[in-house]
């Protein structure tokens, strides 16, 4: 048994915010409330008692956009190390993307990554590819992949340019009641990916990636989602116009979600000047106007989800010249801290609203039975200190490609509990 005493419980799924005790047994929450743990209660030597005074207890965080690089690129990350990074960040459920080598476009590869995911201490789910070989020409056997446990479908990393194919994919996914996630960047409008087309790219003497490359595909897929009734996730949204288009699609009745990464609500294109390739990602960091629009989208509900797009790369790869280095940064171990520091402490979101974007909303998108704390429910939760300041670094991920290394953040994860077992504990505790 695990006895958690004096926790400040915040659960957006039930709109609960109060001090209480939590009792966990056999992987389930068996009691929540005040006085759940009698003083002097006898415990066996196997029982764990956690004094959570000063800590927030929340549903285990859910990240619907991670890259664990397995199979094929495990020098960057593998499913085991990725899961450990997730647990350290407070995540108990993650959805891995399909752009591995080979891609998750067939039942055999899907079964492999599922098997590896079950070896970890957290819930590792996998999206399957929309198109065979991630080539954007022919749909995968989405029905077969769904039967083998695909959590959803995405060609993330590669935009789908064939509108007819996208429409067919949406129709099929809608019939399977599974979501589709889209990487929205038209390569025909981009000369140098990973860097915004604007003042910084001009200063660097390159063209970069303009916002219209994102906006044009977001507009297409929002309207196709409206007409097909598919559940569609606009991944890593970064431009002010795209935020407004998602809002418009929602108002029309489309089942459209949008996710934003911590780096897009924290940094702007200026970060490229100080961090180089560590601030290079697709879509790129954009202007301060875009950053503020993204934050406003989080506040007004246009953006439903915070997801990391955890994208590990080796030190050698990121050390290449800016235009040759790969795009992407790691994010699982800093996401909660960036949310607390940038959004909650600066008054943009309440803690309840932040946790909503990181637990129940992503769970709803992927039709998952998690993201809530309730008696009789699975014991997936995170305990964190919202006031503890810590320094980003000392990652358990295989990779360390982050512009946030060395930054002071608030909101320190102390315990992550998944299926009733402690999968991460801060070394100080």
DSSP 22: E
Catalytic residues: 309
Percentage of the chain beyond pLDDT 70 is: 97
Cα–Cα distances in Å, from 315 out to 124, 126, 158, 309, 318? 26, 26, 23, 18, 5
Q: Identify the weakest region by mean pLDDT among 15-24, 33-42, 115-124, 269-278.
A: 33-42
Q: Which residue has the higher pLDDT, 232 or 45?
A: 232
Three-class SS state of 237: coil
Average pLDDT of every residue of the chain: 96
pLDDT class for 44, splitting at 50, 70, 90?
A: low
pLDDT class for 45, splitting at 50, 70, 90?
A: low
pLDDT digits (tens, 9 = 90+) for 70-125: 999 999 999 999 999 999 999 999 999 999 999 999 999 999 999 999 999 999 99
Cα–Cα distances in Å, from 145 out to 98, 153, 180, 348, 420? 12, 9, 13, 40, 30
Answer yes or no: are the C-beta atoms of 289 and 279 closer than 8 Å. Answer: no
Residue 36: its pLDDT value, please?
A: 59
Residue 331: its pLDDT value, please?
A: 98
Cα–Cα distances in Å, from 59 out to 11, 62, 341, 382? 6, 9, 19, 6
Average pLDDT over residues 196-204: 98
Residue 418's nearest CA partner among 121, 125, 124 is 121
pLDDT class for 56, splitting at 50, 70, 90?
A: very high
In the block, tokens 């991944």 appear at 235
pLDDT digits (tens, 9 = 90+) for 23-37: 999 999 999 998 755
Average pLDDT over residues 30-49: 71
In whole angstroms, what is the distance from residue 173 CA to residue 183 CA? 16
Average pLDDT over residues 231-235: 98
In the block, tokens 């077992």 appear at 421
Q: Identify the weakest region by mean pLDDT among 34-38, 45-49, 286-290, 412-416.
A: 34-38
pLDDT class for 40, splitting at 50, 70, 90?
A: very low
In whole angstroms, what is the distance from residue 381 CA to residue 58 CA? 6
Percentage of the chain beyond pLDDT 90 is: 96
Cα–Cα distances in Å, from 191 out to 1, 188, 213? 57, 8, 11
Residue 427: its pLDDT value, please?
A: 85
Q: Identify the weakest region by mean pLDDT among 38-42, 144-148, 386-390.
A: 38-42
In the block, tokens 């402690």 appear at 422
Tokens of 327: 């795009």
In whole angstroms, what is the distance from residue 53 CA to residue 171 CA? 49
Residue 86's nearest CA partner among 348, 324, 407, 382 is 382
In whole angstroms, what is the distance from residue 151 CA to residue 129 CA? 11
pLDDT at 327 over 70: yes
Residue 215: its pLDDT value, please?
A: 98
């Amino acid at each position: 048994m695990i006895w958690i005493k004096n926790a400040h419980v915040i659960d957006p799924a039930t709109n609960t915010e109060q001090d209480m005790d939590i009792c966990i047994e056999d992987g389930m929450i068996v009691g929540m409330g005040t006085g759940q743990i009698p003083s002097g209660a006898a415990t066996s030597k196997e029982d764990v008692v956690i004094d959570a005074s000063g800590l927030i207890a929340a549903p285990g965080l859910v990240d619907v956009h991670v890259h664990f690089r397995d199979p094929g690129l495990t020098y960057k990350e593998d499913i085991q190390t990725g899961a450990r990074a997730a647990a350290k960040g407070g995540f108990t459920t993650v959805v891995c993307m399909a752009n591995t080598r080979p891609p998750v476009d067939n039942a055999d590869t899907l079964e492999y990554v599922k098997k590896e995911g079950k070896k970890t201490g957290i819930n590792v789910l996998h999206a399957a590819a929309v198109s065979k070989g991630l080539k954007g020409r022919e749909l995968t056997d989405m029905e077969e992949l769904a039967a083998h446990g695909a959590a959803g479908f995405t060609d993330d990393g590669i935009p789908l340019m064939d509108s007819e194919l996208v429409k067919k994919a949406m129709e099929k996914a809608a019939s399977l009641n599974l979501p589709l996630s889209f990487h929205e960047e038209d390569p025909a409008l981009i000369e140098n990916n990973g860097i915004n087309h604007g003042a910084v790219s001009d200063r660097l003497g390159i063209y970069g990636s303009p916002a219209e490359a994102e906006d044009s595909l977001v507009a297409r897929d929002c309207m196709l989602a409206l007409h097909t009734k598919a559940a569609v996730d606009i991944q890593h949204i970064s431009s002010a116009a795209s935020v407004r288009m998602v809002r418009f699609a929602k108002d029309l009745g489309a089942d459209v979600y949008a996710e934003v990464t911590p780096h897009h609500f924290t940094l702007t294109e200026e970060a490229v000047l100080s961090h180089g390739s560590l601030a290079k990602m697709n879509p790129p960091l954009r202007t301060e106007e875009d950053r503020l629009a993204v934050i406003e989208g989080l506040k007004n509900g246009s953006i439903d989800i915070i997801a990391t797009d955890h994208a590990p790369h080796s030190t050698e790869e990121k050390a290449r010249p800016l235009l040759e280095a790969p795009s992407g940064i790691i994010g699982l171990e800093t996401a909660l801290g960036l949310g607390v520091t940038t959004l909650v402490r600066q008054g943009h979101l309440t803690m309840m609203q932040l946790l909503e974007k990181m637990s129940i909303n992503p769970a709803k998108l992927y039709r998952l039975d998690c993201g809530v704390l309730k008696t009789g429910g699975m014991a997936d939760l995170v305990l964190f200190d919202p006031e503890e300041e810590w320094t980003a670094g000392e990652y358990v991920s295989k990779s360390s490609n982050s512009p946030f290394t060395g930054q002071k953040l608030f909101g320190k994860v102390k315990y992550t509990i998944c299926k009733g077992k402690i999968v991460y504990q801060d070394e100080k505790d």
